[in-house]
A and B are shown apart, each in its own frame.
Chain A
């Protein structure tokens, strides 16, 4: 199985800040990483696929980058609606595996 090590587990930000979350895979995942946003009591929502491709409806303040084993996800100009948990997912191999999650809170 491919292990996805996501950090940090939690993040405190002020409105307007830029925040970055990282995921490191245990092996090369060839850019097949997605990022999800999850709000309490809701299903995860797909924001970004294939490292940096924004889904329809994903605001442009969200971005992703990386290659090989190392990937990052950023939110520039954090807004109140961005307060949520975020998860990375590798989908190059079965079993699909998720990172441990990052909880974004307001400072």
Chain B
């Protein structure tokens, strides 16, 4: 059974660094082809893919946010992390992590429940 769960600070101030964790089970990020992505959704708006990390440690970023994003994983391949620097109000959103694969293109099949993040002074 594949599950993912996001965790984060809930609220933070503008200009700070947002740190998010995606904890997952039911698959291993050390398996060839596996990818975990981060996606966000401001309230009432559409979805935006942010970043991904694959089984081999290769990292992929949305060019529009690349300078502010850092994705990483733990050595046991059970968690993926996302850092967003210099947050502002526009970064207020629900953040999701989702499973993906490399090789033959596949859509995000399993998603976490999402974590709401509010940027406010």
A residues with a Cβ closer than 8 A to B are 1, 32, 34, 42-46, 49, 55, 87, 89, 91-92, 94-101
* Interface pairs A-B: 8 shortest CB-CB: A34-B107, A43-B111, A96-B49, A98-B47, A95-B62, A101-B46, A91-B107, A91-B105
B46 pairs with A89, CB closer than 8 A: no
Given A49-B106, A91-B106, A96-B37, A44 and B47 contact (CB-CB distance below 8 Å): yes
B60 pairs with A94, CB closer than 8 A: yes
Question: Using Cβ atoms and an 8 Å threshold, which residues of chain B touch A95?
Answer: 49, 60, 62-64
B46 pairs with A99, CB closer than 8 A: yes
- In the bound complex, how far is the Cα of B48 from the Cα of A93, in angstroms? 14
A89 pairs with B63, CB closer than 8 A: no
| In the assembled complex, B96 has its CB within 8 A of some CB on chain A | yes
Interface size of B by Cβ–Cβ distance < 8 Å? 21
Question: Using Cβ atoms and an 8 Å threshold, which residues of chain A touch B47?
Answer: 44, 87, 89, 98
Question: Using Cβ atoms and an 8 Å threshold, which residues of chain B touch A34?
Answer: 107-108
Q: Which residue of B lies closest to A99 (CB)?
A: B46
- In the bound complex, how far is the Cα of B46 from the Cα of A96, in angstroms? 13
| In the assembled complex, B77 has its CB within 8 A of some CB on chain A | no
Taking the closest CB of chain B, its distance from the CB of A51, in whole angstroms, is 11
Q: Which residue of A lies closest to B65 (CB)?
A: A95
B60 pairs with A89, CB closer than 8 A: no
Of A34, A44, A45, A92, which is in contact with the most chain B CB atoms at under 10 Å from its CB?
A: A44
A sample of 23 inter-chain contacts (CB < 8 A) reads A32-B105, A43-B111, A43-B112, A43-B113, A43-B114, A44-B96, A44-B111, A45-B111, A46-B108, A49-B106, A49-B107, A55-B109, A91-B105, A92-B105, A94-B52, A95-B62, A96-B49, A96-B108, A97-B49, A98-B46, A98-B48, A101-B45, A101-B46
Question: Using Cβ atoms and an 8 Å threshold, which residues of chain B touch A87?
Answer: 46-47
- In the bound complex, how far is the Cα of B47 from the Cα of A45, in angstroms? 13
Question: Using Cβ atoms and an 8 Å threshold, which residues of chain B touch A55?
Answer: 109
